[in-house]
Amino acid sequence: MARFPSEAWFKEVQEVYNSDSSLHTGGGGACETTAAFKVGDECYRIVFEGHQCLEIRSASEAELASPETDFIIEMAPELWKAMVENIQEHGAAHDDHTLNSIDLRQDDSIAYSPEDDQARQDLFYRFNQNFQDFFDASSRVETTFD
Amino acid sequence: MSEAPVREQEHELDTSWMDQMGEWGIKAKPGKRGLTLAEIQIGEYGELPETTDNMTGRPRGATRRPEAYRVGAYGVRNLSEIWLENATFLYEEALQRQWSSATDIPWHTIEPLPDDIEEAECLLCTFFNEVEFVAGDVPARWIAKTSPDFFEARHVLIAQVMDEARHMDVFRKRALANGGGLMRMSGATSGFIGSIDLARDFTEMSTRLHISGEGAVLTMFRMGELMGQNDAEKRMYRLCAQDEARHVAFGVMHLRFLCEHAPERRPEIECYLDEAEAQIMAGLQNPAGTQAETSEALAILLGGGKAHYDEGHKMLLVIRRRQLKEYMKRVQSAGFGERFENGRSSIPEQYAAAY
Amino acid sequence: MADKDAGAAVPAAVSAGDDDGPRVEGVPEPTYEWMGLSNEWGVRVKPGEHGLRLGDLNVGIYGEVPEEWNDHTRRPRGALPRPGIPPLPYNLRRKHEMWADCAADLYEEAIQRRWIPATEVPWGSLEPLPEEVERAICQICTEFCQYANTELEIITYWQDQMSYGYFEVKQFLATATFDCARHIEAFRKRALANGGGLGIEQRGSVNRMILESRGGWTEAVTYLYLLRGTYTMALYRMLLNAAHNDAERFIFSHCIEDHARHLTYGYDHLKYAVTHHVGQDRIMQTLLAIGESIMGTELKEGTMGSAMAVLLGGGIEGGRTIGMETYLHGVGDFVRDYLALGEWIGVPREENLNPMLKKYLVY
């Protein structure tokens, strides 16, 4: 059982995501982006290339701020937890717990470009289905929050 | 197939064309993304003319034939008028991310909804069906006017026309899938979007369509996912939003290229942005604005019914504020951010007032 | 039912005032005047075996495709009009000017059968070919790029003039232009992926004939699909048969599939036009009499024939004999198909076939 958030947890999700070929089409499909997740003080770097999540690992704040990072998804730890719990319960994000819905319910976007470039922040919208599929894949990962 | 016997007859063969081919010995190799358009931009085949005199429609890099007919009549012949740095990338992305409204939307998850919500959803779908007509027609018009020397950018526009056809189709399907129907047309496509129709310059059109219009619609599609009552709607809006974000990216990146390569056009582009901001962001025609009937539908959906209209309206205003902010940041990304600092644009005021 | 012209309210499912919750200060009073305004309500189309397809939506008034669509706006078919909307220049407003019953199905088929040249063509299967053959395939690819370019330019020229009463056709044509873009991409990639390059451009007589047909979309389709398109299909079939590697097989087999959809639309539309528009057959007879001459000239003088012969013959020497004979048989097939199609559409050409095409019937 892997703890959320942790590199081990994300790597298990990565494995599930990469092995599911049904995610390779129907609006998901190939994408190219380097992004990051910020869960409280913990940072993770994620790279999508083609149909695969090529890399997901712990990263430093400095790495997140590098020019390579297209955008960072950052929200309060309780929001992250609520989303993952919802996915665990329903098999996929349900109701207002999709990344997009969570984003729109905040005063400001949960995704931002460290270079303050909206064109790169918009990659969160362009590849939204892949990120949603990635997190939805966590429904198949036994998860603990302690 | 023919049953006539193949006769061993010797024919004359003019093979002079073999000595008139383009740059030879090209061996493009697939990269990590396959053999993309970027991989074949090599040698002369990757050289983009600043201004093209290719009026015959020949593929870029093909040998010119002196007697070829000049059938092109291309109005768009300057690189700065159409180009964007990531054209190949956007086109390949579009190819990879196509979807089918028939089979990729879980239509079976739609169940009867309260009447007010169904009506609001159907009104929105009617509006989107209508709006996507513009976004399909207008880029198509410019494709035939653009020199094939800039085929990569043309291909992105062709992909957009395909995306918009799919959007037209999916919203019509949603309107007719759950006990509702189409409602009254909005007429908005003859208002501000009428000016998209009337643009006689590609960049003028793109500024209005991609950055202003589609930027606003992108936000609405994202709202659609938030408001969606079932997996079918959520998925439908999310996939449409992905496509729309690609179209917006075209507009931003093209404007960025033009800003860098044709700075003498900045004053002109500022005027287009002035008009677009006045019409789209502040006027009746912005469905996420304060007055259009579609904004009433949005408020009903965001609130979860007429009984919660006011809550929905408040959410709408918050999202409108986000929309304004993203618009400003896109224009900034395109290289025209100064207008928000020097007082030329009233958007910062609207943004501040939208609280 | 609503008064379609005035947009009057139907007995509303929900009328303004029902179920309103408590009002919040500062929020403008909604009018809800749009509620209940629908031509036909209560429609519930269910997905079938192949999902929820465009053609499935043609129920009730939403399926009424009028012979003439007098709406100059972007009103979706079946939606209520709104008075006072300025007109837009949708010049093609009669069904016979663009319709084909198969358009909706072809649209859905095109989406299902999409392919991606960058990642699905097995480019790794390309191996060096004899120089003459490589030059031939590269010349052919160059010309196919121009064929596809002509096709997408003429479609996009007409597409935004087509009214939305016949949106199925517009949507199908969007897939057709997407196919053309894909073909240009695939042929260009093939030409640049195996040690070759692009060839010399066509003179473009048939391209010009297609692009200069400004009288109407039907007239353009006559040249684009009945004449040029039928020939292109014959070429694709020959090239699939002669493919040297899996990459070429993939490209030509998929181009055949795509092109078959375009031709199906084209032929169906022409048949519809002939059967529903008095005099259309005679217009087409006139056009084809001219077009056959131009087509015949291009077949005789263009480089495609020679390039095909070299490819089919495995080189120049073989091109002079078996290559050219095989090509000429293929052209004979094109002419036979063209005549059969003309007959089917209602524009028989056998009696008046231009000698420059007739001569290929011996093959």
**Structural domains in chain B?**
79-353 (1.10.620.20)
Q: Are C281 and C346 in contact (CB under 8 A)?
A: yes
Is the pLDDT at C2 greater than 70, yes or no? no
Cα B128 to Cα B330: distance, rounded to the nearest angstrom: 23
Q: Are C232 and C258 in contact (CB under 8 A)?
A: no
Tell me which residue in B56, B169, B297 faces C171 most closely, judged by beta carbons: B169
Is C228 inside any structural domain?
yes
Kindly state the average pLDDT of the residues B226-246: 94
Could you tell me the pLDDT band of residue C214, with boundaries at 50, 70 and 90?
confident
Could you tell me the pLDDT band of residue B283, with boundaries at 50, 70 and 90?
low
Place of tokens 């057709």: C176
Kindly state the average pLDDT of the residues A57-85: 95
pLDDT score recorded for residue C20: 61
Cα A16 to Cα A9: distance, rounded to the nearest angstrom: 11
> Strand, helix or coil at B304?
coil
Answer whether B169 touches A (CB < 8 Å). Answer: no
The pLDDT > 70 percentage for chain B reads 92
Kindly state the average pLDDT of the residues A65-93: 95
pLDDT tens for C5-20 read: 333 333 333 334 445 6
φ/ψ of B113, rounded to 5, equals -115, 160
Residue A44, strand partner residues: A37, A58
What CATH number corresponds to the domain at position C193?
Answer: 1.10.620.20
Contacts of C192 in chain B (CB under 8 A): 26-28, 40, 42, 45
C89 versus C338: which is more confidently predicted? Answer: C338
Is C306 inside any structural domain?
yes
Which residue of chain C has the CA closest to B173?
Answer: C57
Residue A143, strand partner residues: A2
pLDDT tens for C291-321 read: 999 999 999 999 999 999 999 999 999 999 9
When mean pLDDT is compared across A75-89, B269-283, C209-223, the lowest value belongs to B269-283
Residue type present at position B197:
D
Tell me which residue in A30, A100, A107 faces B222 most closely, judged by beta carbons: A100
Inter-chain contact B107–C46, Cβ cutoff 8 Å? yes
Contacts of C179 in chain B (CB under 8 A): none
When mean pLDDT is compared across B115-119, B133-137, C173-177, C334-338, the lowest value belongs to B133-137
Is the pLDDT at C223 greater than 70, yes or no? yes
The pLDDT > 70 percentage for chain C reads 93
Is the pLDDT at B192 greater than 60, yes or no? no
Contacts of C52 in chain B (CB under 8 A): 101-102, 105, 107, 173, 177
Chains with at least 3 CB pairs less than 8 angstroms from chain B: A, C
pLDDT score recorded for residue B191: 53
Is C121 inside any structural domain?
yes
Q: What average pLDDT does the structure give for chain B?
A: 91
Place of tokens 């009337």: B198
Q: What average pLDDT does the structure give for chain C?
A: 93
C103 versus B353: which is more confidently predicted? Answer: C103
Q: What is the ipTM of this complex?
A: 0.94
The pLDDT > 70 percentage for chain A reads 100
Tell me which residue in C41, C50, C325 faces B9 most closely, judged by beta carbons: C325
Is C316 inside any structural domain?
yes
> In the structure encoding, which two tokens stand for residue C275, read together?
């059967």
Full domain range(s) for residue C99: 95-362
* Integer CA distances (angstroms), B273 to B131, B179, B212, B280, C254, in order: 20, 41, 8, 10, 43
Is C6 inside any structural domain?
no
Place of tokens 């005032």: C17
Query: Per CB distance under 8 Å, which residues of A are interface residues toward B?
Result: 25-32, 49-50, 96, 98, 100-101, 103-105, 107-109, 116-119, 121-123, 125-129, 132
Contacts of C54 in chain B (CB under 8 A): 102, 169, 172-173
Which residue of chain B has the CA closest to C3?
Answer: B184
Is C219 inside any structural domain?
yes
Contacts of B175 in chain C (CB under 8 A): 43
Is the pLDDT at A45 greater than 90, yes or no? yes
Transcribe B41-99 into DSSP letters.
--GGGGPPPSB----S-PPTTSBP-TT-------SB-BGGGT--TTHHHHHHHHHHT--
Task: Flag whether the pTM goes above 0.90.
Answer: yes
**Nearest of B11, B4, B14, B12 to residue C332 by alpha carbon:** B4
Please name each of the domains of chain A with its CATH number.
Answer: 2-144 (3.30.1050.10)
Kindly state the average pLDDT of the residues A31-36: 95
pLDDT tens for C130-176 read: 999 999 999 999 999 999 999 999 999 999 899 999 999 999 999 99
Inter-chain contact C21–B33, Cβ cutoff 8 Å? no
> In the structure encoding, which two tokens stand for residue C305, read together?
């024939």
Tell me which residue in B33, B104, B332 faces A26 most closely, judged by beta carbons: B104
Domain count, chain C: 1
Inter-chain contact A100–B32, Cβ cutoff 8 Å? no
> Strand, helix or coil at B143?
helix
Work out the burial of residue B261: count CB atoms within 10 Å of its CB; fewer than 13 is exposed, 13-18 middle, 19 or more buried: middle
φ/ψ of C75, rounded to 5, equals -70, 125
> Strand, helix or coil at C140?
helix
Cα C174 to Cα B165: distance, rounded to the nearest angstrom: 7
Inter-chain contact B42–C192, Cβ cutoff 8 Å? yes
Is C148 inside any structural domain?
yes
Kindly state the average pLDDT of the residues B50-74: 95
φ/ψ of B31, rounded to 5, equals -100, -160
Interface test with C, best of B134, B184, B243 (most C CBs within 10 A): B184
Kindly state the average pLDDT of the residues A27-44: 92
Is the pLDDT at B38 greater than 50, yes or no? yes
Is C35 inside any structural domain?
no
pLDDT score recorded for residue A56: 97
Could you tell me the pLDDT band of residue A141, with boundaries at 50, 70 and 90?
very high
Transcribe C222-288 into DSSP letters.
IIIIIIIIHHHHHHHHHHHHT--SHHHHHHHHHHHHHHHHHHHHHHHHHHHHHHHSTTHHHHHHHHH
Strand order in the sheet with A42-50: A52-58, A42-50, A31-39, A71-75, A111-112
> Strand, helix or coil at A26?
coil
